Amino acid sequence: MQGELVRRNTLFFEQLHGHLQELASLQLSRCDAPARQQLRLLRRSLLYAKAVAVRLADDRWCESLPLPVQTTDYQHWRFGEVELLWQLDWLNDPLQPSLLLQSPRHRVASSLYFVQEKIDLAPGYQALLADRDTRRVLDFAAQRNTLDAAEWAVLHHPQQLQALDGRLYLASAGDAQGIQLLLIADATALQASLAGLRLGYVLLAGVLAVLGGALAGLLMRRELSLEKALQQALRRGELEVDYQPLVDLATRRCVGAEALVRWRRVDGQRVRPDLFIPQAEASGQICAITQRVIELVMQQMAELLRAHPTLYISVNLAAADIVQGRFVEVARQQLASQGVAARQLVWEVSERGLVDVEQACQLLGQLRQAGHRIAIDDFGTGCSSLSYLQRLPVDVLKIDKSFVDSLGMQAASSSVAPHIIDMARDLGLKVIAEGIESATQADTLQQLGAQVGQGFLFSRPLDASAFHAFVRCHG
């Protein structure tokens, strides 16, 4: 597990460094509109890059998007002529340039949010990038910027796995610059979490620890009661589907809806999606949930879809759905039995869900050939780039709510939505804007070129009967 984390982070920073080299190939003499467009086009082809900039001969920066003028509040490491800067205040805001890699004349802005996603630690565990000589730390919990005495001692100890003062430490060997990845867990919490588990599970965690992957054993700890409850929910039919309308921004007519899975327990209480969806993804139950959503959508919406041939329902796919592909046959059978056209069932995939891009291209291509449309959800919050997008068989881009919220504001992300709409127009893709809450946002997005909107301005998520009524009023 530790080796995989090191590999992921090394690859991430190597890619950012490669982006600096690509910037060096640009020949910009001035910062006019064509120069900025050239930078924006290059940025689209760079994974993890939020913005890029080149320092001109007069020492002014020419930028694809506005970047901080002063970086005095950033922490930094210097590696020769290359400097790594980070701002922990923006750790949980993927829209802000919280991570910068720059040389004297070139700068790439990214986000610590991407690094957090790659580390993906369970709650209660820590990961640090540390310089053992200066004690400087990049703490992904944004709690401090220096090593404490125990951590410093661990990094200077020849053994990589150590237990000190009730905590487990696992340190990487370090790179050529002396930067090390340090993983930390509370040993007491580990003991408590294992106490009630069957012997085989304890032994498995023990074996992992002996092999040097103690924290891999820690990360296996899941809420087993929630997993069991999800299994029961699937058997008992406790999962439901709500429908959030999709509205044509020009005519304000309903053109479809996004299907949103909900879990209502037998006692009437609802379990929040942000609690059970991650658990379902971790346990592999998400594929069964996706299949159940497809079945419910067809049961509840088939008559409406047959009566309105241009209406459609979009269903979210997880990474495991793309890998396993089991939903494809379920959807085919449901569509055939209900007499609904494939174009009326749209598949939504997120950038983070496309783990294997080649495999995703193959499966999504087959779905499009069958008549389905493909939408990229939350576009711009993941590893978005033009080259990445051009490889995927895609019909629609959905702009994340965070970019809609920043429209008209003095923020680094305020120009992202217009940028995505321009990109979509160049590629012949439709645009859906999520999270619209005001008429001003809707009007602005329509003027920019977005075709469809979704958000509380039009409607909150509705149950099946309420959505039928919504279509009758706004169809």
| C-beta separation of 399 from 436 below 8 A | no
Q: What is the mean pLDDT of residues 73-83?
A: 76
| Cβ within 8 Å of residue 288, ≥6 positions away | 234
Residue 330's pLDDT is: 95
Q: What is the mean pLDDT of residues 177-187?
A: 67
| C-beta separation of 6 from 12 below 8 A | no
User: When comparing pLDDT for 159 and 6, which is higher?
Assistant: 159
DSSP 89: G
pLDDT band at 221 (very low <50, low <70, confident <90, very high): very low
Query: How far, in Å, CA of 386 to CA of 50, rounded?
Result: 12
The strand pair at 430-433 and 396-399 is best described as parallel
> Residues 99-112, buried b or exposed e (16+ Cβ, 10 A)?
bbbbbebbbbbbbb
Q: What is the mean pLDDT of residues 328-333?
A: 96
Lowest mean pLDDT among 60-74, 111-125, 337-351, 428-442: 111-125
Express each pLDDT in 144-155 by its tens digit. Answer: 677 788 887 777
User: When comparing pLDDT for 227 and 253, which is higher?
Assistant: 253
In the chain, domain spans: 2-113, 121-219, 224-474
Helix and strand tally (H, E) in the chain?
18, 20
Q: Per DSSP, what are the bridge partners of residue 259? A: 243
Q: What is the mean pLDDT of residues 297-302?
A: 97
Amino acid residing at 438 = S
Residue 38's pLDDT is: 86
In which element (H, E) is residue 232 found?
helix 224-236
Express each pLDDT in 264-290 by its tens digit. Answer: 877 677 888 887 888 888 788 999 999
| C-beta separation of 16 from 43 below 8 A | no
Find, among 333, 335, 288, the residue nearest to 312 by Cα. Answer: 335
Tokens of 64: 């694809």
User: When comparing pLDDT for 373 and 226, which is higher?
Assistant: 373
Average pLDDT, the chain: 79
Q: Where are the beta strands (DSSP E) in 29-166?
A: 51-55, 61-63, 75-79, 82-86, 99-103, 106-110, 126-131, 137-139, 161-164
Q: Where are the beta strands (DSSP E) in 252-383?
A: 254-264, 270-271, 312-317, 345-350, 374-379
Provide the 3-class DSSP secondary structure of residue 415: coil
121-219 against 224-474: fold identical: no
pLDDT band at 118 (very low <50, low <70, confident <90, very high): low
Tokens of 27: 């020949």
Evaluate if residue 217 carries a pLDDT over 60.
no
- The dihedrals phi and psi of 128, each to the nearest 5 degrees, come to -130, 140
Evaluate if residue 3 carries a pLDDT over 60.
no
Residue 261's pLDDT is: 96
> C-alpha distances in angstroms, 467 versus 107, 257, 460, 472?
48, 9, 10, 9
Find, among 253, 257, 261, 260, the residue nearest to 304 by Cα. Answer: 257
Residue 208's pLDDT is: 30
Instruction: Using a cut of 0.75, tell me whether the model's pTM lies above it.
Output: no
| Cβ within 8 Å of residue 418, ≥6 positions away | 448
For tokens 């530790």, the residue is 2
User: When comparing pLDDT for 412 and 221, which is higher?
Assistant: 412
- The dihedrals phi and psi of 433, each to the nearest 5 degrees, come to -100, 125
Q: Where are the beta strands (DSSP E) in 124-178?
A: 126-131, 137-139, 161-164, 167-171
Lowest mean pLDDT among 109-113, 165-169, 349-353, 383-387: 383-387
Residue 173's pLDDT is: 59
Express each pLDDT in 397-443 by its tens digit. Answer: 998 888 888 886 655 556 778 888 988 888 899 999 999 999 999 99
Provide the 3-class DSSP secondary structure of residue 55: strand
| Cβ within 8 Å of residue 322, ≥6 positions away | 349, 353, 354, 355, 356, 359, 360, 363, 364
Fold entry, domain 121-219: Beta-Lactamase (3.30.450)
Provide the 3-class DSSP secondary structure of residue 96: coil
User: When comparing pLDDT for 205 and 314, which is higher?
Assistant: 314
Query: How far, in Å, CA of 351 to CA of 30, rounded?
Result: 34
Find, among 380, 444, 432, 454, the residue nearest to 408 by Cα. Answer: 444
Query: How far, in Å, CA of 225 to CA of 189, rounded?
Result: 17
> C-alpha distances in angstroms, 311 versus 123, 258, 396, 458?
41, 11, 15, 16
Q: Is 250 exposed, middle or buried (0-12, 13-18, 19+ CB in 10 A)?
A: exposed
Find, among 259, 375, 363, 272, the residue nearest to 321 by Cα. Answer: 363
pLDDT band at 142 (very low <50, low <70, confident <90, very high): low
> Is 224-474 CATH 2.130.10.30?
no
| C-beta separation of 288 from 319 below 8 A | no
